[in-house]
């Protein structure tokens, strides 16, 4: 029976398209929600993969218009994809982890019914995550090409290219030139992704900042720089071939020498819901195994991931 005080009535389910194990957990989750009185629909591509009968299928756009909540089963890549598509509709997302680390899909599949029960009753932590929008300044008369990202915007060389020269301006003021394999412009959400592996800092998602992280810079004095999220970035490809612009590692635009990329904070934000006990640093401690010292491993004192 649906709790009349629940903030949700219509819930859409979405999953990783190439997952061979989607049917089982999706079926369990849909049945769990229906038994509690919720109206359940399934995103069209997810429905085609899972072949779960008895539920209406909806496009991503319709899913954003007609639902109070979207539950995503998959890894962080799946969550990133749906976050970008649903951000304009301001519909909250919950992630069930079927991937590896799961920084965004932070509910373990084994505990999904218990933890979702709390969220559905209104006991959750809500986060608004900054997103980025980048567009390429093409020749006069051509249509600008845009990318939306939750994690990061990356400009880098391809496998056939050499190091590239970039010019970076912040709020229309020249900041510096960079010769490197590329540069990562990351949100706090993306600070634990590619930016982290390139030597960038971990940034709390509550901070209104962006981080610029050079990738294999030619000069060792180039270091990550943190700037306000309100800043406008203008990056010019001064020299290089086989250069590309990437958003969340899921979309790609080839770049030509002389082209400019304008990067700004998006007008839209991704809304994520977490279990009521969620704590960002506790999540980092568990996902990054900060407490797995030899002493703790010997006595089996690792924290459970909940």
Q: How many angstroms separate the CA atoms of 69 and 174, rounded?
A: 43
Confidence (pLDDT) at 234: 97
* Confidence (pTM): 0.90
Using the Cα atoms of residue 182, residue 76, residue 131 and residue 247 in order, give the sign of their dihedral: positive
Task: Tell me what percent of the residues of the chain surpass a pLDDT of 90.
Answer: 69
Query: Which positions are annotated as active-site residues?
Result: 76
For range 238-256, the mean pLDDT: 91
Q: How many angstroms separate the CA atoms of 22 and 73, rounded?
A: 8
Confidence (pLDDT) at 3: 66
Residue 276 has pLDDT above 60, yes or no: yes
Q: Which helix (H) or strand (E) holds 24?
A: helix 23-35
Asked which of 51-55, 189-193, 270-274 is least confident by mean pLDDT, the reply is 51-55
Domains of the chain: 10-122 (3.40.50.10330), 131-267 (2.60.200.30)
Three-state DSSP class for residue 260: strand
For range 9-15, the mean pLDDT: 94
Q: How many residues does the chain have?
A: 306
194 by Cβ neighbours in 10 Å (0-12 / 13-18 / 19+) ranks as: buried
Confidence (pLDDT) at 294: 56
Range ranked top by mean pLDDT from 30-44, 99-113, 156-170: 30-44
Closest C-alpha to 224, from 192, 190, 199: 199
Residue 304 has pLDDT above 70, yes or no: no
Residue 214 has pLDDT above 60, yes or no: yes
Q: How many angstroms separate the CA atoms of 90 and 62, rounded?
A: 13
pLDDT category at 305 given cuts 50, 70, 90 is very low
User: How do strand 107-108 and strand 93-97 relate by DSSP bridges?
Assistant: parallel
């Amino acid at each position: 029976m649906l709790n009349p005080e629940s903030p949700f009535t219509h819930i859409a389910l979405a999953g990783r398209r190439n997952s061979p194990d989607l049917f089982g957990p999706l079926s369990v989750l849909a049945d769990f929600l229906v038994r509690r009185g919720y109206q359940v629909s399934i995103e069209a591509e997810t429905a085609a993969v899972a072949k779960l009968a008895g539920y209406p299928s909806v496009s991503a756009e319709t899913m954003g218009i007609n639902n109070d909540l979207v539950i995503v089963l998959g890894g962080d890549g799946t969550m990133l994809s749906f976050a970008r598509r649903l951000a304009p509709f301001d519909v909250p997302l919950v992630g069930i982890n079927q991937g590896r680390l799961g920084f965004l899909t932070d509910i373990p599949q084994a505990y999904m019914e218990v933890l979702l029960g709390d969220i559905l009753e209104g006991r959750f932590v809500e986060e608004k995550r900054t997103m980025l929008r980048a567009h390429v300044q093409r020749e006069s008369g051509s249509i600008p090409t845009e990318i939306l990202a939750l994690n990061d915007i990356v400009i880098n060389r391809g496998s056939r290219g050499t190091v590239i020269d970039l010019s970076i301006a912040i709020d229309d003021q020249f900041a510096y030139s960079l010769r490197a394999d590329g540069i990562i412009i990351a949100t706090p959400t993306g600070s634990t992704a590619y930016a982290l592996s390139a030597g960038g800092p971990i940034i709390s998602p509550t901070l209104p900042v962006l981080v610029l992280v050079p990738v294999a810079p030619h000069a060792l004095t180039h270091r990550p720089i943190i700037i306000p999220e309100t800043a406008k970035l203008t990056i010019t490809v001064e020299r290089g071939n086989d250069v590309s612009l990437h958003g969340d590692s899921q979309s790609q635009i080839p770049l030509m020498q002389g082209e400019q990329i304008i990067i700004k904070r998006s007008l839209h934000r991704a809304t994520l819901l977490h279990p009521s006990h969620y704590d960002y640093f506790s999540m980092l401690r568990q996902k990054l195994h900060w407490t797995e010292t030899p002493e703790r491993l010997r006595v089996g004192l690792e924290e459970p991931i909940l």
